[in-house]
Amino acid sequence: MCISMPGLAATAFADDLKAVSSIDAVTVFPAGAEVTRTAKVEVPPGETTLIFDDLPAETVPGSIRVEGQAGAALKIGSVDQRRMFVPQSGGDHSADRRRIESEIENLRDQRLILEGNLQAAQTQQTLLNNLANLPNVSPGRESGAGGQPDWSALLGVISRGMGEAQQTMLTARVEMRDLDRKVADLEAKLSELAPKRIERTEVKVHVIADSALEADMTLKYQVRSASWTPSYEARLDTGDAASSAKLQLVRRATISQRTGEDWMDVGVALSTTRPTSGSTAPDLRPIVIDILEPRPPRPVAEVGGGMMSMADEAAEKKDRRRYMARRAAPTAMEPEVAAAPVVAEAEVSPFQAVFKVPGRTDISASGEEKNVVIAFEDFSAALHVKAVPKEAATAFLYAKLKRDGETPLLPGPVTLFRDGTFAGKGQLPLIAGEEHEIGFGADDLVRVKHAILQEKRGETGLISTTRTDDRNYKMTVTNLHKQKIDVTVLDQVPVSGNEKIEVSPARGSEPTKKDVDDKRGVVAWEFSLAPQEEKTIDFGYVVRWPPDKEIVYRKK
């Protein structure tokens, strides 16, 4: 039993109890995710502060929810959150650190001995230099009677002593340099083994238990650096004369995350909800249109003969910018990629869909993409071909279908396969309850030809002449399939953009549809062709305009 009391505050006498949690489930949104952690905690009687310090640093502030289940009464009070640095787990290297520190200490002791040898040799060199510089010491003087020194022998002693001192200093410096390099290498290794600290989110949960109990704690929080994107495969089986065409739509999801924690062996659900896109519609502010009042005339300067001063010029530019800003229209908001596979279980509500990925899943925090299959949908497809002969002498195969599923299809790329062969890529979504067409590439068994019969400009009339542009074409479609096919041929008639220009169709094959898909001037002929049957379409139009004008054809 659990009782949640948001108003309960922790007292200074509450004991701290560190709790270790693990990730059990993740719900991934198109932008962001909700992570569910669980922990079993032995709670003593009285007031206790449970400390969870294993949440990632990017936990969204204010998104943490805590629940608890226990066999006895457990009251959950306040929940506090803060960011902090904690030691990174990854093994205890204290023994290796002690060994390296001992080696460094031994090398530094050896260096101290070498420093002593170097100082002794330097002192010896100084004494010998002083002795050699005595005024009575000269290589030309011989030892005489009365106990005078043998200066030649003394100079030999000085020379040998200087050589020994130089050698001792050189050896000491070389060995000291080698020791310094070894110490630097060991210090680098020691630094690598140093305990690393990473930023985490610490959560303190204040609870009160009437008696000692074991509680199952659940923490839920949101993170931003995670997402899933939909992708699809459309697999078309064109069938034959004895069987109808079938279409299978494979729904996939690509999941990635960089939240700072790996999701290992977790349950994954994919939601179409977008919590980061806001909860309310954008607010519109009034737009006021005003008249730009002319500035009053400026007095003519006594010096400068009416020249605009720099201050006046700057003021006029400022007014002009204000005027342009007032009349600027508001910009639109920017819109927010063998074995039988296991598919996700869908939970559909009127406003969202959640797909539960079967089993447990591992998703690394490195951003590496994880691909999962959401669902398979099978359709009966009606095949037909479309051709635009004026643009391409090719017919394209389309599958027409109606999707009755409840789950929405988010926008995403679709990979197309026709009879097991890759046919290209396209884009979805398909809206439930509406008919859709999916193109599957060129159909080489439908031959398309386009011929220009006439493109002639001239004039008509005797008294009041009119300039004309007569254009006539012939389009031919041949079915080389072994079964009947439905065909749609598209072309267009220019649309007049001026009341002085008149466009009228020439005599020929009457189109089945005009202004196709609400596109002005686009016409279509729809018909069926039996095997080896050929259809010819005659099409043309006449444009008339005043003789003193010139016309231009533009695509919009």
Query: Quick check: 1 and 71 in contact, CB under 8 A?
Result: yes
Q: Where are the alpha helices (DSSP H) in 35-150?
A: 94-132
Joined tokens for residue 220:
């839920």
Mean pLDDT, residues 27-32 taken together? 94
In 3D space, the residue among 512, 462, 463 whose CA is nearest the CA of residue 487 turns out to be 512
Q: Output the CA angle 116-120-121, nearest 5 degrees.
A: 120
447 three-class SS = strand
Q: Percentage of residues in the chain with pLDDT exceeding 90? A: 46
Beta bridge partners of residue 79, listed in sequence order: 205
Least confident interval from 8-12, 114-118, 447-451, 460-464:
8-12
pLDDT of residue 307: 43
User: 493 or 127, which is more confident?
Assistant: 493
- Rounded Cα–Cα distance for residues 432 and 554 (Å): 37
Joined tokens for residue 309:
């001063």
- Rounded Cα–Cα distance for residues 88 and 200 (Å): 10
With a cut of 80, say whether residue 49 has pLDDT above it: yes
Least confident interval from 154-163, 335-344, 367-376:
335-344
pLDDT of residue 415: 94
Query: Quick check: 431 and 403 in contact, CB under 8 A?
Result: yes
Characterize the bridge pairing of strands 513-514 and 466-479.
unpaired
Characterize the bridge pairing of strands 197-209 and 22-28.
unpaired
Confidence of residue 277 (pLDDT cuts 50, 70, 90): low
At 387-435, the pLDDT tens digits run 999 999 999 999 988 877 667 778 889 999 999 999 999 888 766 667 7
For 239: left if phi > 0, alpha if psi spans -120 to 50, otherwise beta; the answer is left
Query: Quick check: 206 and 78 in contact, CB under 8 A?
Result: yes
Joined tokens for residue 465:
């002449």
Q: What angle separates helix 151-192 from helix 94-132, to the nearest 10 degrees? A: 160
- Rounded Cα–Cα distance for residues 412 and 270 (Å): 15
In 3D space, the residue among 518, 536, 521, 373 whose CA is nearest the CA of residue 453 turns out to be 536
Q: Where are the alpha helices (DSSP H) in 82-215?
A: 94-132, 151-192
Averaged confidence pLDDT in the chain: 82
pLDDT of residue 320: 54
Query: Quick check: 403 and 380 in contact, CB under 8 A?
Result: no
At 488-503, the pLDDT tens digits run 999 999 999 888 899 9
For 490: left if phi > 0, alpha if psi spans -120 to 50, otherwise beta; the answer is beta
Number of H helices and E strands in the chain, helices first, is 3, 28
Q: How far is CA 126 from CA 123, 131, 165, 167, 347, in A?
A: 5, 9, 10, 15, 93
Cα 58 from chain centre: 17
Query: Quick check: 37 and 24 in contact, CB under 8 A?
Result: yes
At 134-149, the pLDDT tens digits run 665 555 555 544 556 6
pLDDT of residue 129: 81
Question: What is the separation, in whole angstroms, between the first and last Cα of the chain?
Answer: 68
Longest dimension (CA), the chain: 155
98 φ, ψ (degrees, to nearest 5): -65, -40
Question: Which amino acid is present at 73?
Answer: A
Query: Quick check: 440 and 416 in contact, CB under 8 A?
Result: yes
Joined tokens for residue 386:
């479309």
pLDDT of residue 402: 80
Q: How far is CA 427 from CA 43, 50, 233, 337, 411, in A?
A: 54, 50, 10, 10, 7
At 505-532, the pLDDT tens digits run 988 899 999 999 999 999 999 999 999 9
Confidence of residue 242 (pLDDT cuts 50, 70, 90): confident
- Rounded Cα–Cα distance for residues 360 and 421 (Å): 33
Sheet holding 370-380, edge to edge: 370-380, 246-257, 226-237, 412-418, 421-428
At 189-234, the pLDDT tens digits run 888 877 777 888 999 999 999 899 999 999 999 999 999 999 999 9
pLDDT of residue 158: 78
Is pTM, for the whole model, over 0.85?
Answer: no
